[in-house]
Amino acid sequence: MKKMALHWQILLGMVLGVVVGLLMTQFEGGKDIVQDWIKPFGSIFINSLKLIAVPLILGSLIKGVSDLKDISKLSKMGGKTIGLYIFTTVIAVSIGLLLVNIIKPGNSISEETRQELVENYSGDAAKYSDEAFKQKESGPLQALEDIVPDNIFGAASENKNMLQVIFFAIFFGIGLILIPEKKSKPVKKFFDGFNEVILKMIDLIMLAAPFGVFALLAALVVESPSIDLFKALIWYAFTVILGLAIMILFYNGMVFLITKKSPSFFFKGISPAQLLAFSTSSSAATLPVTMERVTEHMGVDEEVSSFVLPIGATINMDGTSLYQAVAAVFIAQTFGMDLSLGVQLGIIATATLASIGSAAVPGAGMVMLVIVLAQAGIPEAGLALIFAIDRPLDMCRTTVNVTGDAAVSMIVAKSLGKLHEPIVKDWDDHYKS
């Protein structure tokens, strides 16, 4: 008998969690049973995601930077590639923040429900308020100063210091490039293997996702049974999907303006990779198809595609960063928090840098969201609000990630004079079957 796909298991866990939560609200003491015997498994699941945040950053980012191999490449192809990836990521986060501030999906929750949430997580709210007050008392360049750690082990002991870990990982990766290959090879091999182990750990954690979702949803229903909370989730999902659609239009516009290739050319070329990305929720799993489509069907020279696309699968997560921005502000709105312009600019910086270390596998975006929430002073308990519908949104944002990689590869190829006529023009549907 064929095993049910993970995304269907997660959706089933969602449904069962809501059903069990609704049933338990009909019985006296049902809420206590869920909180004492079911909710802890949801907390364990969230903690397991937080557990691997630092190793994920170190393994993925050091590997991605060191794979550049030659620093001189950064001055030409590397510089253009990384610059475009950072540019599109900033645009994605900005679009997400703009939409979530206009639509305000979290504000559709009633004051009564909001008060229940605040009471349930008052300890977290007080803790983050104290930290926010400390930040206000610091100098104007304190944020820049805090990026550089004085002790990497101390920085790695707190998820809220993830920017320091990212700085160290980039610095370490550059150091690996600059030393002789004979000496760097053992270290690179170690981090290649280390990265594979972390990715496998994510696979194992995601096997427990259906149970974690069940526990989180059941607890969410009994703790805040108001129907307006679920209405807010629909508006949240709409905001994310609208932002992702705008990003795809943005990619098409960039490709058309710079390469003069029509939107239909771009869509026909990349659509099989988009479909695979949607079904697997993994940029890494889709990479071989993306490279084949970009090289043979979209005219990008293999020298460019073999350099730009693997780096993109590691550091270019536009869909993920957009979702992180929307999710962070949505959770803040749900808890009745008013984020200042400075905090939201901080979200842009953090989400951009965090997306660089986001592994190209299902569920990694949720790990990175923990970093964004902690950096912005938003209660991490709010993850329970959005994980219920994270898997369908993960499928959508992975499609955007892959689309962004393809668009950047075409633009870089055009700037280097390495964009040619496609090798294959029949637009076969081989990968759709």
Residue 217 placed within a domain = yes
pTM: 0.63
Q: How far apart are CA 123 and CA 133, in angstroms?
A: 16
Tokens of 235: 């508006």
Q: How many alpha carbons fall within 13 Å on the CB side of residue 88?
A: 35
Answer yes or no: are the C-beta atoms of 62 and 173 closer than 8 Å.
Answer: yes
Residue 1 placed within a domain = no
The H-assigned helical ranges of 224-282 are 227-259, 263-280
Q: What is the pLDDT of residue 68?
A: 61
- 3-class secondary structure per residue, 87-134: HHHHHHHHHHHHHHHHHCHHHHCCHHHHHHHHHHCHHHHHHHHHHHHH
CATH number, position 252 = 1.10.3860
Q: How far apart are CA 160 and CA 146, in angstroms?
A: 11
Q: What is the pLDDT of residue 360?
A: 47
Q: How many domains does the chain have?
A: 1
Q: How far apart are CA 313 and CA 293, in angstroms?
A: 15
Residue 119: other Cβ atoms inside 10 A? 10
Q: How far apart are CA 239 and CA 231, in angstroms?
A: 13
Residue 380 placed within a domain = yes
One digit per residue, pLDDT tens: the chain, 433 residues?
A: 466 766 577 778 878 988 998 898 888 888 889 888 998 988 887 778 778 767 877 776 677 667 666 666 556 777 788 889 889 988 998 999 899 999 988 777 766 666 655 555 445 444 444 544 554 565 556 656 777 888 888 877 776 666 677 778 878 888 888 888 888 889 988 988 887 887 788 778 778 878 887 887 788 778 764 566 667 778 888 999 999 999 999 999 999 999 888 888 998 888 888 887 776 666 766 777 787 788 888 888 877 777 788 777 767 788 888 988 888 888 888 777 777 777 777 777 777 766 665 544 445 566 667 767 776 777 666 666 676 577 678 878 888 999 999 999 999 988 888 888 776 654 444 434 4
Q: How many alpha carbons fall within 13 Å on the CB side of residue 58?
A: 19
The β-bridge partners of 300 are 419
Q: How far is CA 240 from the centre of its chain?
A: 12
Residue 236 placed within a domain = yes
Residue 121, domain extent: 7-432
Identify the three-state secondary structure at position 300. Answer: strand
Residue 288 placed within a domain = yes
Residue 50 placed within a domain = yes
Residue 2 placed within a domain = no
